[in-house]
Structure 1
Amino acid sequence: MMDISKGRLGPHEGKEIELLLSGEKAVAVFVEGLPRTAEGPLQDSKLKHFKKLIPTTKDINLEADFLFLPGHERAAKDLAELMKKSMSSPGYDASLERQIGSLLGYSQLDIEMYIQNLKDLGRL
């Protein structure tokens, strides 16, 4: 059994570009526009990008920017589809959340800590 108390639940916010360029992460998603730090790597073709509208349960579409390393377009498209399923369904699905977390580069320990947090909050 995994000891989730050793996890460190926290976002990659502000570090995504660095994590992508170091290869620690293959895909990142932004819902509030791309950070300025993405401009150079996109121009140099070190990173690839696409936008996708993600429908939500609140009848609004979220415009998401997906950044990914060359060769990881399939993972980015898979992430977009998983997010679409997750955001258009009421509540959370642990299996979907695990897949999303994995594609976003979180450790299994951190993902399980996140799932446990959702359970503790009564959202799962």
Structure 2
Amino acid sequence: MADELTLPPGIGPHEGRELELMLAGTKPMAMFSDALHVSDYFPDADFAPHVEAGRIIRVEEIIPRPPFEMRYLFFSLPDEEWRIEEALVMSRNLCAGTVIDHDADSARMGELLGYSSGEVQAFLDHFRS
């Protein structure tokens, strides 16, 4: 999407550096999501050796969201699994349509993913304008 190209560095979906940042210990969690039938970009193969070695935790959940199912794939550092648990609750609420404050949830998800409060605020401001 064109809007994502104008975001400050370090803000936006994926950027292809999650694994690198996680292995360096500077990103506690990565999340990938899409309608199950839409995307084939889920980096299972890239993360697999690190999951097998115990350096990274992997959790996947498929959540019904008519007319499609949503696939959520999370990776975290071993001592950061609590982030996945909280992000899964938020993802389930989103799919169920029970989110009360999208900005608050977006901000919290950004924090869970390891973004600074300034980066989260820039992201929210960008999409509000």
TM-score (norm 2): 0.74
Gaps of 5+ in 2: 1-7, 34-40
- Pick aligned residue for 2:121 from 99, 109, 112: 112
Verify: 1:59 aligned to 2:61, yes or no: no
Q: Percent identity?
A: 22
Gaps of 5+ in 1: 1-6
Within 5 Å, give how 1:74-89 maps onto structure 2: 74-89=82-97
Verify: 1:22 aligned to 2:24, yes or no: yes
* 1:15-46 superposed Cα distances (whole Å, 9 cap, x missing partner): 01111111111111123423422121112111
Q: CA RMSD in A?
A: 2.4
How far off its partner does 1:110 sit? 1.5
TM-score (norm 1): 0.77
Partner of 1:68: 76
Determine the C-alpha separation between the residues in 1 that align with 2:30 and 2:114. 8
What residue identity is the alignment partner of 1:18? E
Aligned pairs, how many?
114
What residue identity is the alignment partner of 1:68? S
How far off its partner does 1:71 sit? 1.8
